Amino acid sequence: MPLSFDTTGFRQHDQTHWLHPGTGDQVSLNYFDLVPDLPRSLSDLPGLRQDLTGFTAESGCLIEAHVVQLQGVPALLQIVKIPRPGQQHGQVFIAAFTVPKATCSAVLRIQCEETGTTGVREAVLMAELGPQNWFRAHPYAPNVISKLPYHSGDDMHWDPRFPQHPLSRARAWVHHVVRTAQVDPRFAALPPFPGPGPVGPAPGSVPGSAPPHAPAGGAQAAVPVPQPGSPAAQPPTAGPQAVVPPAGGAHAATPVPQPGAPTAAAAPGVPPGPPLGAPPFGTHPAAAQPGAPTAQPPAAGPLPGSPAPAPLGTQPAAAQAVPQPDPVPQPDAAPPVPQQPVAPQPGVPQLPGEGSRMHSLVTGLPIGGYLPIWLSNQDVGYLRLVDPEAALALFGAGEVGRADLNGGWVRETVMYEWGSNTVFLPGRFRGESGGIEAKMLEVAPAKPEEAKQAATPEAVLAAFRWLGGVALAATRRGESVALVPGGVQMWGRPSVVIKVAAGKSLVCAAPVPVGAPIWSEQIPPGPEPEELWLDGEATEEIIRASGLLAMYASQTWTVHPTELALSFSTS
């Protein structure tokens, strides 16, 4: 092959395909002994971008396109997204380098597929940016409407927050390739692609000929992918960063056949694998002219679910099913809490009685600067928090005393003298002296209508973002968190349970939140289940996103946000 690249972390599947065992990402490297099918030369980048946007809109969306340098040789970089074929949800992100020459080209590409719970990156960022700032006209072709929308969530700026997202993985690989790829000097010296049109062989050149190895030394050009205003993604950290020549085994360099020998792409009798989706422009040979040789797939065939070359302008063929993600792990017992807390306060919190001064009350979800406090399953009061930030730093951190509910669940409590301006938060653990310390917050009694008016959409969103942080802290303590209607007992339904098990972030909603964002996309066909579990990698960002998943689910309930509460459990 005219190109070689670092294969650290990938396993070779066949002569031209590599698979990453941890992520399922697939890399392919192909040489085409045909005139490239690009609609324009690389020198006309604005026009090329416009054409590529229109073509890709039929099957997905072009995220970005640039002309980059691979060891000083111009190459077209495209990053596109397409729907997961045969699936109702999820996307596949493809990053492709095309190095076009007058009569041939080399294509190096990676495809990264969304698995598990899909759309988390989009949900988190849309909630932060707002719908009005989400969808954007395509910068390369503003009048083009793509099958998949062009939106702010695909910007490189967000990749560091979602390092395991398939788009982030694709971009990280792109930057590593730009830094480390090698180009055979004889291929680099071939005449450049001048644009579409009949082109004959350059004088003295042999079309398709290239040496079976890459240069064994020399400085590598570190050219970042152009992205004005965005921080550069970091290259993969696993494995050595230094470039090793192909002979050392760390780089892939598939030999290109010499003149007179069968081409590496020739494999009579082996049909091409079904395409995953429409490939980026220039990653497949142009339609062959009568009598001209046609490029065939490699003998071993592409990896299951990988895109196959297709003639320019044709509709993608029917896609075969992509391998399904592993079954969602069932929730199991969380590890025990290392510290032994004070035994929860026995019994149910009592209504204020004659002669009573301080009462133990269970708390609800703080929203908009107001804290619900539950007197019974039906009676709820509200306290306006004079310093909401201080209160949010205390609640949900695992330090406030708790009251027993049922089913092994507990809920945080406060001590309050009805009508006063101070609420006490008893500690959960005994201090060095053996006593239980209490913290104080300044409050003011409030009417229910005041609390409900303060629960604006912005305040509710902020509360559930806070819940995401509470969930993260709870999972680090080995606890589960449940969002349920408030009261002095634990309700089975409706509920959203958040936990981490077997390295997965798990969120369960009961009943199934039909019509809720993200949730609706994950409902399996057939009879509606009793509950619905979503899973994802147990990263900090994914666990924090569980707060938004809980918000979306709770919006399908007939419970006002100011009447919700949080419960905790270690079982």
Domains of the chain: 3-199+244-252 (3.40.1000), 358-569 (no CATH)
Residue 566 has pLDDT above 70, yes or no: yes
Residue 256 has pLDDT above 80, yes or no: no
Q: How far apart are CA 536 and CA 547, in angstroms?
A: 14
Q: How far apart are CA 351 and CA 279, in angstroms?
A: 67
Whether the Cβ atoms of residue 299 and residue 113 lie closer than 8 Å to each other: no
Which residue stretches of 438-507 are H helix? 448-454, 457-476
What's the average model confidence in pLDDT over 221-229?
A: 33
Retrieve residue 243's tokens: 């470039």
Query: 248 falls in which pLDDT band (50, 70, 90)?
Result: very low
Whether the Cβ atoms of residue 443 and residue 385 lie closer than 8 Å to each other: yes
**Helices 540-554 and 457-476: angle between axes, nearest 10 degrees:** 130
Residue type (1 letter), 84? R
The most distant pair of C-alpha atoms in the chain lies apart, rounded to whole Å, by 106
Q: Which residue has the higher pLDDT, 292 or 115?
A: 115
* Nearest alpha-carbon partner for 303 in 4, 10, 5: 10
Place of tokens 């905790």: 568
Q: Which residue has the higher pLDDT, 239 or 134?
A: 134
Residue 299 has pLDDT above 50, yes or no: no
Whether the Cβ atoms of residue 492 and residue 510 lie closer than 8 Å to each other: yes
Question: pLDDT per residue over 143-186, tens digit each?
Answer: 998 999 999 999 999 999 889 999 999 999 999 999 999 999 99
Which residue stretches of 327-398 are H helix? 388-394
Retrieve residue 8's tokens: 């650290």
Residue 275 has pLDDT above 90, yes or no: no
Residue 45 CB: number of other CB atoms within 10 A? Answer: 16
Q: How far apart are CA 305 and CA 322, in angstroms?
A: 5
Query: 318 falls in which pLDDT band (50, 70, 90)?
Result: very low
pLDDT value, residue 433: 64
**For the ranges 148-162, 297-311, 344-358, 465-479, which has the lowest average pLDDT?**
297-311
Cα-flanking dihedrals φ and ψ of residue 442, to 5°?
A: -85, 130
Residue 571 has pLDDT above 60, yes or no: yes
Give strand ranges (E) for 178-292.
182-183, 251-252
Q: How far apart are CA 534 and CA 68, in angstroms?
A: 39
Whether the Cβ atoms of residue 183 and residue 98 lie closer than 8 Å to each other: no
* Nearest alpha-carbon partner for 548 in 491, 512, 509, 511: 509
Q: How far apart are CA 569 and CA 571, in angstroms?
A: 6
Cα 507–544–540 angle (5° rounding)?
Answer: 105
Retrieve residue 267's tokens: 């494999």
Query: 246 falls in which pLDDT band (50, 70, 90)?
Result: very low
pLDDT value, residue 325: 34
Residue 370: burial class (beta carbons within 10 Å; 0-12, 13-18, 19+): buried
Q: How far apart are CA 443 and CA 381, in angstroms?
A: 13
Q: Which residue has the higher pLDDT, 363 or 208?
A: 363
| 511 prior amide bond cis, ω within 30 | yes
Q: How far apart are CA 167 and CA 121, in angstroms?
A: 10
**Helices 540-554 and 120-129: angle between axes, nearest 10 degrees:** 70
Question: pLDDT per residue over 419-454, tens digit each?
Answer: 888 888 888 776 666 666 778 899 999 999 999 999
Q: Which residue has the higher pLDDT, 260 or 161?
A: 161
Q: How far apart are CA 368 and CA 349, in angstroms?
A: 25
Residue 346 has pLDDT above 60, yes or no: no
What's the average model confidence in pLDDT over 466-486?
A: 95
Residue 4: burial class (beta carbons within 10 Å; 0-12, 13-18, 19+): buried
Q: How far apart are CA 404 and CA 373, in angstroms?
A: 15
Query: 250 falls in which pLDDT band (50, 70, 90)?
Result: very low
pLDDT value, residue 397: 92
* Nearest alpha-carbon partner for 128 in 373, 386, 465: 465
Whether the Cβ atoms of residue 479 and residue 337 lie closer than 8 Å to each other: yes
β-pair partners for 100 = 105
Q: Which letter does DSSP use for residue 273 in this model? A: P
Retrieve residue 561's tokens: 């946000």
Question: pLDDT per residue over 88-142, tens digit each?
Answer: 778 999 999 999 999 999 999 999 999 877 888 888 888 788 777 888 899 999 9
* Nearest alpha-carbon partner for 532 in 487, 559, 562, 497: 497
Residue 281 CB: number of other CB atoms within 10 A? Answer: 25
Whether the Cβ atoms of residue 459 and residue 367 lie closer than 8 Å to each other: yes
First vs last C-alpha separation in the chain: 56
Retrieve residue 324's tokens: 């399904």
Q: How far apart are CA 412 and CA 62, in angstroms?
A: 49
pLDDT value, residue 390: 93
Retrieve residue 477's tokens: 């303590």
**Helix (DSSP H) and strand (DSSP E) numbers for the chain:** 8, 22
Which residue stretches of 181-315 are H helix? 185-188
pLDDT value, residue 468: 95
For the stretch 518-523, contacts whose Cβ atoms lie closer than 8 Å and that sit 24 or more positions apart, written own/partner, are: 518/117, 518/118, 518/119, 518/120, 518/123, 518/549, 518/552, 519/549, 519/552, 519/553, 521/88, 521/89, 521/118, 521/119, 522/89, 522/117, 522/118
Q: How far apart are CA 444 and CA 421, in angstroms?
A: 5
Question: pLDDT per residue over 98-113, tens digit each?
Answer: 999 999 999 999 999 9
pLDDT value, residue 19: 96
